[in-house]
Structure 1
Amino acid sequence: MSAGAMVGNGDLERGTSAKGRNQRFSGDVDYSERQWTSWLVPMIVVANVAMFAVIMFVNNCPKNHDGVGSCVAKFLGRLSFQPLRENPLFGPSSSTLDKLGALEWNKIVHQNQAWRLVSCIWLHAGLIHLLANMLSLVFIGIRLEQQFGFVRVGLIYLISGIGGSILSSLFIQNSISVGASGALFGLLGAMLSELLTNWTIYANKGAALFTLVIIIAINLAVGILPHVDNFAHIGGFLTGLLLGFIFLVRPQFGWKEGRHLPGRLRLKSKYTACQYVMWIVATILFIVGFSVGLLMLFRGEKGNDKCSWCHYLSCVPTSRWSCNY
């Protein structure tokens, strides 16, 4: 349930011309692209904050808590948090999260509650969890929405969240899971594929690729700690990576300006052959992967039965903690 990292491809410098690195092509022709106004990402943040308030209202610690310890921040009334011994993230009880739609394998498979694959994306285990995810969403999502618009970014966010839920359900059956981390990792994966598929239009791409890969690796490495659903991270990342190849393809450098040139000087293809190949391969892999994942889930199959070592991707046992899946 950790948050994704924060980095923006938009900071990369695009294109060079004979007159220097100033986003120009063919002399004085402006190659800058339309900047969308970001409203979807702020709305998602507002929705998550509002949903957390609803969670705490339903939780009503002063009335419903009868365990060890007392509610935290009692001055908040029914919005006060569960005892820190029960929830150190300043949030509700696990039973409240389960009631409101947390990801739970048994209820998805045996009680036909597939809607939990979506509802869990909008729930958070605590105030710390919520703040970490929403800060990451703002830094990642706003930049992407400004570049590619709300439709494509919104689809990547939602579908990646579902992809993370599917993989998490396949490998974790003994606990519930909540959070937008799968969707956030999807945006991070989309940033990586966007850089790769639009490689030729970026300057300083080697440094950008190295930085992005390091950030992704660090965040996935954090996921091997206990109580962190790294399968949701991995599923969301892989889904977003494929969707980035599909949705975030840009015309090859100079194509827009080349339309006004004489026929022999004009670029004949809007996209490069490599971009077409990556688009086709990513589309096939996405359809096959999503279909197989859903089929396995609704048939009640367990990922750990198919892969005996995969549980180490989400938690590595040490002398300080154990992993129970």
Structure 2
Amino acid sequence: MFVRTESFKEFLKFYPVISFLVGLHLVLWLLMDFLQLGFAQEWKAWGMGVNVFVLNGEYWRLVTPIFLHAGFAHALFNSFSLVLFGPALEQMLGKVKFIALYLFAGIAGNVGTFIVDPSAYYAHLGASGAIFGIFGVYIFMVWNRKHLIDQANSQIIGVIVALGLFMTFVRPNINILGHLFGLIGGFAIAPVVLRNARPFSIWQVRRSTNRNDGDIHFDPDRWRKKKFSSRQTGKYIVGGIILFLVLIALLNR
């Protein structure tokens, strides 16, 4: 579920929304921070979340910060998180529901920041609120939709969310309210977007993407897919430990 086994070409084909978002993060960073083009700098100033400007009617600033980042490390970390935790939900929910979840959680984080934070000139940007919304959906699964997520992946999510919340409060220059309200927003919309959802399966993705080629395909692993082996569970646990260590390294950096 969180261990990526797809090739780059398969990833682009199976998860177009995640691929688009990651590409958008990197392109905007390239234009705004690396090349520092004048029009791109104006876009960044125009799109950044600033409470006083929202108060003056610039309500688009509740949406646009979701796609902007403060430098390469910020864009890379959020993109890395999307690549790890977004694909399973994109497959389970479908493109439309995943986009709705992502925007709802991101906007919830920005609205929470605007309403609760008293600093009129507080400025913020980043996709972290939307990503915490993804975590919120997973937490809802662990508590209320146990058939959608196995025990090993539930443990991984518990560790990652706990680590994310811990780093939210101990690291400087973090939009704490954005993270918290994004998590709450994802949890709140989970009952809606998870309606009729089925557990993640890489084989289901491959079948759906190959369904229109008009050929009948033989799947040599069809019997192996019918049950969860202890080997598969062990692979998830090892993958979770690796993700945990990588996230610690990135956050410390």
Q: State percent identity of aligned pairs.
A: 24
What SS class does the counterpart of residue 165 from structure 1 fall into?
A: helix
* 1:108 corresponds to 2:54: yes
1:194 maps to what in 2?
A: 141
Is the 1:161–1:182 contact (alpha carbons within 8 Å) kept by the matching residues of 2? Answer: yes
Q: Closer, same or farther in 2 for the Cα pair 1:209/1:185, shift >3 Å? A: same
1:121 aligns with 2:28: no
Distance between the aligned counterparts of 2:198 and 2:69, measured in 1? 40
Q: 2:192 aligns with which of 223, 239, 246?
A: 246
- Distance (Å, rounded) in 2 between the aligned partners of 1:106 and 1:251: 40
Q: Which consecutive residues of structure 2, in runs of 5 or more, have no partner in the other structure?
A: 6-12, 200-253
User: For residues 106 and 38 of structure 1, what CA distance do their matches in structure 2 show?
Assistant: 37
> Which one has the bigger helix percentage?
2
Output the amino acid matched with 2:15. S
Structure 2 equivalent of residue 51 of structure 1: 28
Tell me which structure has the larger Cα radius of gyration. Answer: 1
Whether 1:165 and 2:84 are equivalent positions in the alignment is no
- Number of residue pairs aligned between Structure 1 and Structure 2: 189
Counterpart contact for 1:55–1:100, Cα < 8 Å: no
Match of 1:215 among 160, 181, 189: 160
Distance 1:208 1:55, change over 3 A: same
Q: TM-score, normalising length from structure 2? A: 0.65
Unaligned stretches of 5+ residues in structure 1: 1-6, 12-35, 65-77, 80-91, 254-325
1:193 shift after superposition = 1.1
* SS at structure 2 position matched to 1:115: helix
**CA distance in structure 2 between the partners assigned to 1:188 and 1:101 by the alignment:** 25
Contact 2:130–2:182 (Cα < 8 Å) also in 1: yes
> Which aligned pairs between 1:255-270 and structure 2 lie closer than 5 A?
none
Aligned to 1:149: 94
Q: Equivalences for 1:74-113 in 2 at 5 Å?
A: 99-109=45-55, 111-113=56-58
CA spacing shift, 1:216–1:246, aligned 2, 3 Å: same
* Alpha-carbon distance between aligned partners in 2 of 1:168 and 1:185, rounded to the nearest angstrom: 14
Question: What amino acid does structure 2 have at the position aligned with 1:41?
Answer: I
Give distance in 1, aligned partners of 2:98 and 2:176.
22
What RMSD over aligned residues (CA atoms) do the two structures have, in Å?
3.1
Secondary structure of residue in 2 paired with 1:223: helix
Report the Cα offset of residue 97 of structure 1: 7.4
Partners of 1:169 and 1:236 lie apart in 2 by 13
Separation in 1 of the partners of 2:198 and 2:134? 22
Distance 1:239 1:178, change over 3 A: same
What residue is the counterpart of 1:235 in the other structure? 181
Q: Deviation at 1:242? A: 1.4
Deviations along 1:224-263, one digit per CA (max 9) or x if unpaired, are: 122111110111110001111221134799xxxxxxxxxx
**CA shift for structure 1 position 55:** 1.8
Structure having greater relative contact order (Cα 8 Å, sep ≥ 6) = 2
Change (3 A) 1:252 1:231: closer
Query: Deviation of residue 171 (structure 1)?
Result: 3.1
2: CA distance between counterparts of 1:8 and 1:188?
A: 12
SS class of match (2:180)? helix
The two structures have a TM-score, normalised by structure 1, of 0.52
Q: Structure 1 residues 201 and 160, CA, compared in 2 at 3 Å: closer, same or farther?
A: closer
Gap change, CA 1:177 and 1:46, over 3 Å in 2: same
Deviation of 1:112 after TM superposition, in Å, equals 0.5
- Return the offset for 1:54: 2.8
1-side partners of 2:141 and 2:4: how far apart?
Answer: 11
Deviations 1:171-209 (A, max 9, x none): 332421000000000011111213333224655x3x543
2:164 partner letter: N
